[in-house]
Amino acid sequence: MAHIALDAFGGDHAPYEEVKGALLFVEKTQHRITLVGDEKKIRPLIPTNINRIEIVNAPEHFGMSDKPTEILKMPLSSMNVAASLVKNGKADGFLSAGNTGALLVLGTFMLGRINGIERPAIATVMPSKIGGTVLLDAGANLYLKPQHYVQLGSMGLAYAEKILKRHNPKVGILNVGAEAEKGNDLVKEAYDLMKEKFGDRFYGNAEGRDVFYGEVEVVVADGFNGNVVLKSAEGLGLFISEMLKDSIKKSNLFQKIGALMMKGTFQNFKESLDYRKYGGAFLLGVKGVAVKAHGSSDSKAIFNALQVAADGVEGKIVQAIEGSV
Q: For 282, which DSSP code?
A: E
Chain mean pLDDT for the chain: 91
pLDDT of residue 173: 98
pLDDT of residue 253: 60
237 versus 197: the higher-pLDDT residue is 197
What proportion of the chain, given as a percentage, has pLDDT over 70?
A: 91
- The stretch 95-107 carries a mean pLDDT of 96
Query: What is the spatial distance between Cα 238 and Cα 234, in angstroms, rounded to a whole number?
Result: 6
Q: Which residues contact 314 (CB under 8 A, 6 or more apart)?
A: 2
pTM recorded for the entire structure: 0.89
Does the pLDDT at position 203 exceed 90? yes
Q: For 107, which DSSP code?
A: I
> What are the two backbone dihedrals, phi and then psi, of residue 304, each rounded to the nearest 5 degrees?
-70, -35
Model confidence pLDDT, tens digit, residues 126-147? 988 898 999 999 999 999 999 9
Does the pLDDT at position 268 exceed 90? no
Query: What is the spatial distance between Cα 316 and Cα 235, in angstroms, rounded to a whole number?
Result: 33
Query: What is the spatial distance between Cα 158 and Cα 221, in angstroms, rounded to a whole number?
Result: 16
pLDDT of residue 254: 58
Model confidence pLDDT, tens digit, residues 289-299? 999 999 989 99
Query: What is the spatial distance between Cα 123 and Cα 156, in angstroms, rounded to a whole number?
Result: 7
134 versus 180: the higher-pLDDT residue is 134
Domains plus CATH for the chain? 1-117+285-325 (3.40.718.10), 119-275 (3.40.718.10)
Does the pLDDT at position 177 exceed 80? yes
Listed in sequence order, the DSSP H helices in the chain are: 16-28, 39-42, 78-87, 100-106, 146-162, 185-198, 210-213, 223-250, 253-261, 263-272, 275-278, 299-314, 317-322
- The stretch 80-109 carries a mean pLDDT of 97
